[in-house]
Amino acid sequence: PDLDVELQLDRLKPKMSRRVLLLQGHQSSWHRELMLSPGSPPQCHNLTAYLRDEADFKDKLSPVVMSAALALPTGTRGLVLYGDTQVQAQVRG
């Protein structure tokens, strides 16, 4: 089966108002279907994100919320996996 993976950056903001974007493609989300097979090596994806220039957005106080969702296709027998993780950290520069 495939593993459906989705990453959302600054997900509490409307798409056009998101303050964090991925360097590749300048989008606020990343989605992939990864093939799972017994004995296959681990897969790693490095993604670089950046904070847009402060002049491009008004909200500088609310946290940037990111989420990662993992899901197996429906109908996958004997396997149950679903995750929705929110990571929140406050960083002062």
CATH tag, 2-91: 2.60.40.1460
Is pLDDT of 85 > 80? no
For the chain, what are the domain ranges?
Answer: 2-91
The token pair at 41 is 């090596």
First to last CA, the chain: 43
Amino acid identity, position 34: L
> Is 12 buried (19+), middle (13-18) or exposed (0-12) by CB count in 10 A?
middle
Looking at residue 44, the DSSP 8-state letter turns out to be -
Render pLDDT for 41-81 as a digit per residue (tens, 0 to 9).
888 889 999 999 888 888 888 888 888 888 776 665 655 55
Render pLDDT for 11-51 as a digit per residue (tens, 0 to 9).
889 988 899 999 999 999 999 988 878 888 888 889 999 99
